[in-house]
Amino acid sequence: MSGILEIRDVEVTFEVGPLMRRRSILGVAGVSFDLHSGETFAIVGESGSGKTTLARAINGLQAISTGSIRFDEQRIDTLGARSMKPLRRRMSMMFQDPVGSLSPRMKVGNLIAEPFRIHGIVDKNPSVEVPRLLSLVGLTPEFADRYPHQLSGGQARRVGVARAIALNPDLIIADEPTAGLDVSVQGEVLNLLNDLRERLGLAMIIITHNLHVVHHVADRMAVMYLGRFVEVGDTDEIFRAPRHPYTAALLSANPEPDPDKARDRIALPAEVPSLLARPAGCEFHSRCPWVAARCKSEAPDFVQSETRKVACHTPLELGARPPEMEVTQ
């Protein structure tokens, strides 16, 4: 297995506020990870934690302020738009809103053929490629004549997948691929992505806040909080034994579709700190049930132990409960 993507200490800053009182905030605050071909990596975190910004940075849609991004051993964060373009056909992006990311004035056939036109690929015949791609994503050739508004959410998502795989990419970045889809359609889209990944040997980054989705599709996962990874590791392992308190709280909060299920939750104060006023020390300390004096002043390192990386002074043991347990009904 070779690394297709190598992210090192990536930071993204945004300038905010009125002209004279301009301040910069860190949207992504030093993220590193590797992705291997054929691997699915999930990034989990709440809205505003920097997931989408990170995805845009990888794809070159967002400039980074420090760090480096290597795709297939070539450094891409320093490339200009012109030199980035041939690489973009090897990494495609699926944006959040399935219908909104399709032009309402183009038919599905044209939408699927568009990547070929944009990249000037003339040796592929659209009248062959479009039906082939449609059938790959489980749609009949007749869909080529439809407009996006004539598609259901799940069908629009399939068209988005067809566009993303049109140029045979090595990497797909899917931003909330199942958001707004119903559970039955969610399953279809995830099965499709899993299936394509196996058949085409794709690497995939899935950005989501749905933990059930992560559990079923991702090999490895990262939990993001205020623009940083707080825990990275094997998905099964993290679900079995989360080591960062935020991960543990997220997993314990996940609502289950059973009205009688006993709930043993780790309650967190709901106040998420602002990116303009990052807490000192460990940035999770203001919400952490296990907070200790050291956490308030000293930022933890991102420590690797076996297959797991955790940013916490005292990572949790299996089944650890908060000091003052609050059991919610």
Partner 1 sequence: MTVLAIKDLNVTFSTEGGRLHALKDVSFDVPERRIVGVVGESGCGKSTLINAILGLLADNGSIDAGSIAFEGEDLTRLGPAKMQELRGQKISTVFQDPMGALNPVLSVGRQMRNIQYRSGRSRSEKDARSEAMLRQVRIPDAQAALARYPHEFSGGMRQRVAIAMALMMKPALLIADEPTTALDATLEVATIELLRELQQDIACSVLFISHHLGVIAELCDDVVVMYAGEVVERGTTRQVFHTPRHPYARRLLECDPARQSGRTRHLPTIPGEVPDLRQRPPGCVFATRCDQRVDACDKVPPDVAVESGHVARCVLAEAR
Comparison of 60 and 154: residue with beta carbon closer to partner 1:
154
Comparison of 60 and 148: residue with beta carbon closer to partner 1:
148
Q: How far apart are CA 112 and CA 106, in angstroms?
A: 10
Please report which residue ranges of 266-317 form alpha helices under DSSP H: 293-297
**β-strand pairing of 23-36 with 3-16:** antiparallel
Comparison of 98 and 126: residue with beta carbon closer to partner 1:
98
Q: How many residues bind partner 1 (CB under 8 A)?
A: 50
Least distance to partner 1, CB of residue 55, Å: 17
DSSP letter string, 171-217: EEEEESTTTT--HHHHHHHHHHHHHHHHHHT-EEEEEES-HHHHHHH
Comparison of 77 and 283: residue with beta carbon closer to partner 1:
283
Least distance to partner 1, CB of residue 203, Å: 16
Which residues within the stretch 206-265 sit at the binding site for partner 1 (CB under 8 A)? 209, 211-213, 215-217, 235-236, 249-251, 253-261, 263, 265
Q: How far apart are CA 92 and CA 171, in angstroms?
A: 6
Which residues within the stretch 41-100 sit at the binding site for partner 1 (CB under 8 A)? 45-49
Q: According to the binding rule CB under 8 A, does residue 194 interact with partner 1?
A: yes
Q: According to the binding rule CB under 8 A, does residue 190 interact with partner 1?
A: yes
Q: According to the binding rule CB under 8 A, does residue 312 interact with partner 1?
A: no
Stretch that binds partner 1, among 76-84, 121-129, 181-189, 304-312 (CB under 8 A): 181-189
Q: Environment class of residue 43 by beta-carbon count within 10 Å: exposed (0-12), middle (13-18) or buried (19+)?
A: buried
Closest C-alpha to 229, from 41, 36, 19? 41
Which residues within the stretch 262-291 sit at the binding site for partner 1 (CB under 8 A)? 263, 265, 267-268, 270-272, 274
Q: What share of the chain is helix, strand, coil (3-state, %, to 5)?
A: 35, 25, 45
Residue 13's alpha-carbon distances to 10, 66, 75, 86, 137, in angstroms, are: 10, 9, 20, 26, 37
Which residues within the stretch 28-47 sit at the binding site for partner 1 (CB under 8 A)? 45-47
165 close to 92: Cβ distance less than 8 angstroms: yes
Angle of the 153-165 helix axis to the 183-200 helix axis, nearest 10:
10
Closest C-alpha to 196, from 167, 221, 162? 162
Stretch that binds partner 1, among 78-86, 139-147, 173-181, 278-286 (CB under 8 A): 173-181
Q: For residue 10, give the 3-state DSSP assignment.
A: strand
Comparison of 116 and 225: residue with beta carbon closer to partner 1:
225
Q: According to the binding rule CB under 8 A, does residue 135 interact with partner 1?
A: no
Q: According to the binding rule CB under 8 A, does residue 146 interact with partner 1?
A: no
Q: Which of 181, 203, 221, 291 binds partner 1 (CB under 8 A)?
A: 181
Residues at the site binding partner 1, with contacts judged by CB under 8 A = 45-49, 152-153, 179-188, 190-191, 194, 209, 211-213, 215-217, 235-236, 249-251, 253-261, 263, 265, 267-268, 270-272, 274, 328
